[in-house]
Amino acid sequence: MTLPSRVQLIDVGPRDGLQNEKTPVPAAVKVALVHRLQAAGLTEIEVTSFVSPKWVPQMADNAEVMAGIARQPGVRYSVLTPNLKGFEAAVPTRPDEIVVFGAASEAFSQKNINCSIAESIERFAPVVEAARAAGIEVRGAMSCTVGCPYEGDIAPERVGYLAGLMKQIGVQRVDVADTIGVGTPRQVQRAFEATLAHFDLDHVSGHFHDTYGQALSNTLSALQMGVWNFQSSVAGLGGCPYAKGATGNVATEDVVYLLRGMGIDTGIDLDALIDAGVFISEQLGRPTQSRVARALLARRAG
């Protein structure tokens, strides 16, 4: 077993973490969060999504947020674009990467985006083509790769099927996501094994939710396979509106602490990251969901 010496983290807090907040978060707060994350050393940040404000009102200020960011060299700013209309709205804001999303579960695909898996790929194909033609990177988010709230366990073959379709339309890298946080290490490894039949290790990432407290264990299981790219959310923000009981993404602070303890470099300042998590948590009126942050803050106070 050879563990990676360095791990790249994508913080999805500004987009995936905030999208389901019922109270509007001001654009200035979202911009400030991005600034704090990049100041802490994050070099990949998922900023916002270009979706209909009817469905995701929290992201209606997408262009304002993108315009407000003081961009740093070497930082990749990504946005979610589920269709060609969203992509065309995103292009003037100069994203470095766009994200399309599909599900390994037919039922989840229907509930989430009102179409089958195959239909979703047909919808994404012109988006991917347009992005690649414009020199914009493309990432594919693969949700429900180990479990679905409607279908239960997801067979690795379904994950491989989705990964193959993503590859066919030109997606450059994919996320293996445990959207509802039910996965355990061996299940996660099987999902990665299916994905690695289509994408190499440099073009896959892990995206874990912590509903059943397995996110760090699943991160370790992916690390043991050589995976070196992961997504996480500052302060453990986020959830899934189509998965009852699903909690937030694994906290970036907790992942950084794990990696630091293993001698794996992330380039991230943990203290500055904790402060970023405290900032957004205070704005939302609740404590940070990062266990590491809570423990280290208690130590500071003591």
Question: Distance (Å, rounded) from C-alpha 98 to C-alpha 135?
Answer: 11
pLDDT at 117: 87
Tokens of residue 128, six digits: 């991917």
**What does the pLDDT look like over 253-273, one tens digit per residue?**
999 999 999 999 999 999 999
**What does the pLDDT look like over 90-130, one tens digit per residue?**
999 999 999 999 998 887 877 777 778 888 899 999 999 99
**What does the pLDDT look like over 37-92, one tens digit per residue?**
999 999 999 999 999 999 899 999 999 999 999 999 999 999 999 899 999 999 99
On the question of pLDDT at 242 being above 80, the answer is: no
Task: Give the burial string for 218-252 (b: 16+ CB within 10 Å, else e).
Answer: bbebbbebbbbbbbbbbbbbbbbebbeebbbbbbb
**What does the pLDDT look like over 212-238, one tens digit per residue?**
999 999 999 999 999 999 999 999 998
Residue bearing tokens 């379904």? 158
pLDDT at 118: 87
Active-site annotation, residues: 240
Average pLDDT for residues 278-285, to the nearest whole number? 97
On the question of pLDDT at 243 being above 60, the answer is: no
Percent of the chain, pLDDT > 90? 85
User: In the 3-class helix/strand/coil scheme, how is 204-259 assigned residue by residue?
Assistant: EEEEEECCCCCHHHHHHHHHCCCCCEEEEEHHHCCCCCCCCCCCCECEHHHHHHHH
pLDDT at 244: 55
pLDDT at 42: 98
pLDDT at 302: 76
pLDDT at 240: 55
Residue bearing tokens 């998922």? 46
CA 172 to chain centre: 16
Question: Distance (Å, rounded) from C-alpha 302 to C-alpha 288?
Answer: 18
Q: Which residues pair with 249 in a beta bridge?
A: 209
